[in-house]
């Protein structure tokens, strides 16, 4: 791989052990995947933040880096930790867990990472432009950045994203290159996508069916940002899908062709089967919305639906702290709390230790959450639309 | 045997060989270096100071941090030799500073063989 003089010096240890090891990691990954050179990145989204996911080995690794003075060189935003960083006591998060989680957060803070604590960095200030090269982890954010914005990032792991943040570059391979952004399969949708959960069900079905590659969707007539976020998140959870195109909706759809590709048809029956396959529970102990993190529009919609109703079961809507602040100023948080619900900041159903908090069955409207909750959180899942979930818990 | 250099450094020791892929997260205890994966052919063995030989890594990407933890806790293998190092193991050995070479025909190596791994020159020597 071609390296600049400056990069050679980094690799030889002239800038210290931290940069040497982290840059070596990027060089080796680049060699494994056949990169020709390094490219600068505009921003980094770093995952591997929840103590539940990375445990003591991850905690020690991050504290070591921070102790050695590691600092990020490019704007770097943070994935969700395993709890609400302010209201964790009130929400019932275990104290031993919280102490470790706060140490992880402190290590990231010392490295100069922005404390966004969200899987939707593009909603709270880390918004890339079309064609910009990034090193993002968090599969749903990767899918959104590549597909909805047309920025370019591979599906990074936590350490490789952090290495890119410390070195300011990433190896040039995979989705940074035009030829790998072309579609590999056509998905013909012949079904009404009415509810937000329909986009999750569609994403879950397609990810599970094709497993990898770049799907090109025909037949999705319209979708807002929140629906595309749900579609991509579910697809990235049930398959390793980091990029998709939708005719008429996503920016690269007109730049690629689909001639000669195999076609998979998805109709009402497939969507119904996906819904059924994700429903493993009946009576939820809690409903958790906001996977990926809810936008202000989604919080406003929920607040409206809760007006004049009283919840019988706990309901969380997870979002970024910045979004929660805006929602609070609009009076939306009060409205949700008056009905008995909570706006939970920072964390989410997937990375929080909900299995340790007495919950056995969780209702969600997210294809991604429905896919992960049985394995990561030992939950039975009720997967339905927001309206259906509210019928069950009010 | 000549392979591909994954992580630099030189080490000698006794080979501990697995014919199956190895998951570090949930499969190896970072405090003791014991392999804990149920039913794995190395279950109950300790990787400390061994030349750990296996085809490739598998499982969660948190495995990279476990490899780092093994080194920090003084129970890491002296070196790692793979048929093909994937990103989980590559990330772990580079960040931990454990010599590692891949592209090696590991069928020629048996547990107990004496091995020298030269991660600078991508060479693994038997005997």
Give pLDDT tens digits for A26-43.
998 998 889 999 999 999
| Inter-chain CB proximity B87 and A22 less than 8 Å | no
Task: Give the integer Cα–Cα distance in Å for A270 and A246.
Answer: 19
| Inter-chain CB proximity B69 and A61 less than 8 Å | yes
Residue B125's SS3 state is: strand
* Model confidence pLDDT, tens digit, residues A339-352: 999 999 999 988 99
One domain, residues A265 and A290: no
Domain count, chain A: 3
Interface residue of A13, A22, A27, A28 to substitute, partner B, most B CBs within 10 Å: A28
* Predicted ipTM of the assembly: 0.73
User: Does any CB of chain A come closer than 8 Å to the CB of residue B15?
Assistant: no
Domain that holds residue A122: 5-178
Task: Give the C-alpha distances (Å, rounded to integers) separating B28 from A53, A184, A190.
Answer: 16, 38, 47
Last residue of a domain, one of A158, A178, A198: A178
User: Does any CB of chain A come closer than 8 Å to the CB of residue B55?
Assistant: no
Residues contacting residue A277 through CB under 8 Å, at least 6 positions apart: A204
Last residue of a domain, one of A142, A161, A178: A178
User: Does any CB of chain A come closer than 8 Å to the CB of residue B23?
Assistant: no
Residue A291's SS3 state is: strand
Tell me the chain A residues in contact with residue B7 when contact means C-beta distances shorter than 8 Å. Answer: 24, 28
| Inter-chain CB proximity A54 and B95 less than 8 Å | no
* Model confidence pLDDT, tens digit, residues A91-144: 999 999 999 999 999 999 999 999 999 999 999 999 999 999 999 999 999 999
One domain, residues A238 and A304: no
One domain, residues A80 and A166: yes
User: Does any CB of chain B come closer than 8 Å to the CB of residue A61?
Assistant: yes
Looking at residue B63, its pLDDT comes to: 86
One domain, residues A173 and A248: no
One domain, residues A285 and A339: yes
User: Does any CB of chain A come closer than 8 Å to the CB of residue B72?
Assistant: yes
One domain, residues A252 and A378: no
| Inter-chain CB proximity B7 and A24 less than 8 Å | yes
- Of A8-22, A265-279, A357-371, B22-36, the one with minimum mean pLDDT is B22-36
Other CB atoms within a 10 A radius of the CB of residue A260 amount to 6
| Inter-chain CB proximity A61 and B68 less than 8 Å | yes
Please give the helix or strand (H or E) that residue A235 lies within, else none: helix A225-238
Please give the sequence-ordered ranges of beta strands (E in DSSP) within chain A, or none if there are none: 38-40, 44-46, 76-78, 135-136, 169-171, 185-190, 215-218, 245-246, 263-267, 286-294, 315-319, 342-345, 361-364, 380-383
CATH code at position A31: 3.30.499
pTM assigned to the model: 0.90
Tell me the chain A residues in contact with residue B101 when contact means C-beta distances shorter than 8 Å. Answer: none
- Is residue B6 within 8 Å of residue B90, measured between CB atoms? yes
Starting at the edge strand found earlier in the chain, the sheet holding A76-78 runs A76-78, A44-46, A135-136
One domain, residues A300 and A216: no
B4-126: what fold? Glucose Oxidase; domain 1 (3.50.30)
Handedness of CA B62, B67, B71, B75 (dihedral sign): positive
């Amino acid at each position: 791989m071609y390296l600049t003089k400056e990069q050679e010096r980094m690799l030889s240890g002239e800038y210290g052990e931290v940069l040497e090891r982290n840059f070596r990691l990027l060089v080796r990954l680049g060699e494994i995947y056949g990169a020709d050179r390094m490219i600068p990145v505009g921003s980094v989204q770093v995952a591997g933040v929840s103590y539940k996911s990375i445990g003591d080995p991850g905690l020690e690794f991050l504290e070591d880096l921070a102790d050695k003075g590691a600092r990020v060189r490019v704007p770097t935003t943070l994935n969700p930790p395993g709890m609400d960083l302010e209201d964790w006591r009130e929400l019932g998060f275990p104290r031993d867990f919280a102490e470790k989680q706060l140490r992880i957060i402190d290590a990231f803070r010392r490295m100069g990472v922005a404390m966004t604590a969200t899987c939707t960095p593009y909603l709270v200030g880390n918004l890339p432009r079309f064609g910009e090269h990034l090193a993002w982890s968090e599969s749903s954010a990767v899918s959104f950045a590549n597909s909805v914005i047309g920025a370019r990032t591979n599906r990074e792991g936590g350490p490789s994203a952090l290495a890119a943040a410390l070195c300011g570059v990433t190896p040039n391979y995979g989705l940074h290159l035009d030829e790998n952004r072309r579609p590999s399969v056509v998905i013909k949708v012949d079904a009404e996508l009415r509810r937000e959960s329909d986009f999750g069900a569609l994403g879950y079905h397609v990810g599970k069916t094709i497993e990898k590659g770049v799907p090109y969707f025909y037949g999705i007539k319209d979708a807002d940002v929140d629906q595309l976020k749900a579609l991509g998140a579910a697809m990235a959870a049930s398959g390793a899908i980091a990029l998709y195109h939708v005719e008429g909706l996503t920016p690269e759809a007109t730049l690629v062709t689909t001639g000669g590709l195999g076609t998979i048809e998805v109709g009402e029956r497939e969507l119904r089967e996906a819904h059924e396959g994700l429903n493993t529970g009946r009576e939820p102990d809690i409903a958790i919305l906001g996977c990926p993190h809810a936008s202000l529009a989604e919080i406003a919609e929920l607040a409206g639906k809760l007006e004049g109703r009283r919840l019988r079961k706990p309901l969380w809507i997870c979002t970024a702290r910045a979004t929660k602040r805006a929602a609070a100023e609009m009076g939306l948080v009060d409205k949700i709390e008056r009905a008995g619900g909570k706006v939970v900041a920072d964390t989410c159903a997937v990375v929080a230790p909900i299995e340790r908090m007495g919950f056995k069955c969780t209702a969600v409207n997210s294809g991604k959450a429905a896919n992960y909750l049985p394995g990561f959180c030992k939950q039975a899942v009720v997967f339905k639309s927001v309206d259906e979930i509210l019928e069950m818990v009010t | 045997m000549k392979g591909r250099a994954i992580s630099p450094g030189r080490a000698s020791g006794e080979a501990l060989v697995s014919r199956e892929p190895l998951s570090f997260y949930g499969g190896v205890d970072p405090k003791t270096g014991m392999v804990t994966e149920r039913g794995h052919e190395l279950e109950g063995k300790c990787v400390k100071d061994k030349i750990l030989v296996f085809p490739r890594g598998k499982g969660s990407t948190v495995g990279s941090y476990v490899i780092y933890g093994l080194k920090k806790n003084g129970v890491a293998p002296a070196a790692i030799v793979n048929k093909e190092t994937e990103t989980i193991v590559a990330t772990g050995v580079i960040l931990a500073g454990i010599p590692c070479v891949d592209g090696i025909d590991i069928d020629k190596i048996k547990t107990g063989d004496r091995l020298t791994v030269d991660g600078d020159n991508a060479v693994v020597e038997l005997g």
